[in-house]
Structure 1
Amino acid sequence: MSRAGAPPISDELSRRFLLERFSEYLELELGSSPRTREAYLRDLSLLATWASTRHRVSGAAALEAAHLREWVYEQKDQGRAATTIKRRISALRTWYRFLLAEGVVKADPSEKLESPRGWRRLPDVLTVREVEQLIDAIPLEDAMAFRDRALLELAYGAGLRVSEWCTLEVKDVLLDELVVRVFGKGGKERLVPIGRKAAGAVGMYLRELRPRLEKGKGEGRLFLNSRGRPLQRMTAWTILKKIIERSGVTKPVTPHTLRHSFATHLLEGGADLRAVQEMLGHADIATTQLYTHVNREHLRQVHKQFHPRT
């Protein structure tokens, strides 16, 4: 099958993805311009080739939402312009209207695709050295040093949301098993492994400081303020800001930056995406996949910096 401006695609592949019939639909039913038809068919030819070679998708009916999402995000990774990606999503949605009308599919997996305008930009991610700078910036002579060090080690070591910093209870930290039990959004429970440094910092805080802070008003919470009450979000944020100021780290840092850094460092180290999803408590793996794009950008920067022929 040959079309001006479109990548070469076999007649068999075109038939399995119904591209000729879609071309007729665009022209006869929608009255699309030749330019729009050419662009949409070019985009869908690229998708058909990609899906059949990358995932061995047999045809239009076998495509799944995960395939579409991966293909669209790959466009972003390749540096495609937002206008190009937006048009390709439009081509997909028009194609699925055609497939639904023809009875080829029963649902439209393109419905939930985010357009470039809707993509979220992740905040800056700290390097491992910058995380160490933050932790090392807590002066040991400070009265609350054991708490603050435990707070940062656990926030980064378990990828916690700031709300989870404050709601963790003493009984949720299983130091012997190197595991923390976290109740995230909607009260959903997850178990997250922690390293020995985080466990050691929490153990020191539990032995040396928390018993002195607890005045019967701690409600079983792990992290308490200087008056022995459960730590609140704004207090936790204030603690982090003071540590940032002392650390010399110049990147913008929020409590969520530690969570983003946790996920990114795991993926850079070769962690499985599903495992990271579980540790972060994401209901949808598409949310976790955002971190793979940060990871790939990191790899591109490393390649550009160190490869002799870039």
Structure 2
Amino acid sequence: MTGTCAEWHEEYRLALKHTERIGEETKESYYKEVGRFIRWWGPEKDIETADKTAVLRYVTYNRDERNLTAATRRMRLFCLLDFYRYVCKEEDSGVTGNPIDGIEFPVPKQQPPEIIPDDDLVALLDTAAGSSFVARRDTAIIRMLVDTGTRRKELCGVDLVDVDRGHQQVKVLGKGGLFRLIPYGAKTALALQKYLRARGQRQIGSEPALFVATRPNPRGSFRLSGSGVYEMIKRRAERAGLPDTWPHKVRHTWAHDLLANGASEQDLERLGGWAPGSMMVKWYGSSAADERARDRHRALARGDRL
């Protein structure tokens, strides 16, 4: 026996922990999705039994019984592909060929990114009105997300020293360990100023994090977590009557707006922390081009000339 699926899943987690080729959020996604497959197949089964036949059965299960979208099924296969690359590389696994090789990946239908209208963003901000610490903090977070397009975990990784209030820009550590500077506007600067005044009244010691929680975590840090930001946005969105709003949708909106207002795809890659030639950026570019075309058509008002 060369090890159970559960044992290899745990070893994969440890291997992911030390790799720098992908970001933390991607690592979590890979580990979680591989876990779905292993729980479905059987954690106690030997890894050699999780062969191509098993994977194909899982593909069919996700498509025909779970009715998952092509995008979700494609993502799950990519996660398994990475897992099996690791397993195959280990000579004592007994797995000599990647079971994912030769399997056709689903191609999702291209849908435009979901954008949050300005009125909805105003409604979201309205739920954080007030002068309490939490209200000041949440307002600053929402405005920073809207203004900079940062990923929530990137924003939570920002320290006080990373904020250049004089030039109204913030230094963010993105995927691949790359830093980038992103400017923010006057209203965000004001919200940040009010939040920092409230933060200064908290008993948090020498905590370096820009955004802090009301209570320390088990390690004694007050740094707000990415999941904390997600839960805050979802809670406030539901209060505003916007159940389909989440932090990454704010990033979609930021990227779309940037391109729709004349920025180049290269500008977006640099500010958003995407690799050159990113398919995600091209997706945003296509959506923004569609909107510009509609705006020009409205401005032409061809039928109104008759």
When normalised by structure 1's length, the TM-score is: 0.56
Aligned mates of 2:230, 2:288 — CA distance in 1: 27
Q: Give, in angstroms, the shift of residue 131 of structure 1.
A: 1.9
Residue 211 (structure 2) pairs with residue 211 (structure 1): no
Q: 1:180 is matched with which residue?
A: 170
Mapped contact 1:223–1:230 kept (Cα < 8 A): yes
Distance 2:239 2:186 in 1: 25
Match of residue 235 from structure 1? 228
d(CA) in 2 for partners of 1:193, 1:127? 22
Structure 1, unpaired ranges of 5+: 1-114
Which is further off, 184-193 or 123-132?
A: 123-132
Aligned to 2:276: 284
Q: Highest Rg: 1 or 2?
A: 1
Structure 1 contact 158–194 (Cα < 8 Å) conserved: yes
Letter in 1 for 2:212: L
Q: C-alpha distance in 2, partners of 1:257/1:291?
A: 12
- Once the two structures are TM-superposed, the CA of residue 137 in structure 1 deviates from its matched residue by 2.3
Instruction: Give the 5 Å matches for 1:87-98.
Output: none
Shift of 1:138: 1.2
Q: 1:213·1:224 contact (CA, 8 Å) conserved in 2?
A: no
Q: Which amino acid in 1 is paired with 2:233? A: L
For the residue of structure 2 that corresponds to 1:144, the secondary structure is helix
Partner of 1:128: 118
* Structure 2 equivalent of residue 226 of structure 1: 214
Number of the residue aligned with 1:95: none
CA distance in 2, matches of 1:233, 1:272: 29
* Separation (CA, whole Å) in 1 of partners of 2:110 and 2:224: 29
SS of residue in 2 equivalent to 1:241: helix
Q: 1:3-35: CA deviations, max 9, x gaps?
A: xxxxxxxxxxxxxxxxxxxxxxxxxxxxxxxxx
After superposition, the C-alpha distances for 1:98-123 in whole angstroms (9 at most, x for unaligned) are: xxxxxxxxxxxxxxxxx981566464
- Superposed CA offset, 1:161-188 (max 9, x none): 0111211111111010111100001221
Residue 147 (structure 2) aligned to one of 140, 157, 161:
157
Q: 2:186: which partner in 1? A: 196
Counterpart of 2:214, as a letter, is S
1:146 aligns with 2:136: yes
Q: Percent identity?
A: 27
2:213 is matched by which residue type in structure 1? N
How many residues matched?
193
Give the AA of the match of 1:262: W
What one-letter code is carried by the residue in structure 2 that aligns with 1:248?
G
SS of structure 2 residue aligned to 1:284 = coil
Normalised to the residue count of structure 2, the TM-score between the two structures is: 0.57
The answer (yes or no) to whether the contact 1:160–1:259 under 8 Å persists in 2 is yes
Please report the RMSD computed on the Cα atoms of aligned residues, expressed in angstroms.
2.5
Query: Paired residue for 1:247?
Result: 240
Do the aligned residues in 1 keep the contact of 2:133 with 2:195 (CA within 8 Å)?
no
- In structure 2, the residue corresponding to 1:270 is in which secondary structure? coil
Distance across 1 between alignment mates of 2:226 and 2:292: 34
CA shift in 2, pair 1:309/1:214, >3 Å: farther
Deviating more after overlay: 283-292 vs 192-201: 283-292
Contact persistence 1:124–1:253 (CA under 8 A): no
Question: SS where residue 134 of structure 1 aligns?
Answer: helix
Q: Is the 8 A contact 1:181 1:191 kept in 2?
A: yes
Aligned pairs for 1:293-308 (under 5 A) are 293-302=286-295, 307-308=301-302
Matched to 2:254, the amino acid is F
Work out whether residues 113 and 287 of structure 2, in 8 Å CA contact, stay in contact via their aligned partners in 1.
no
CA distance in 2, matches of 1:127, 1:292: 18
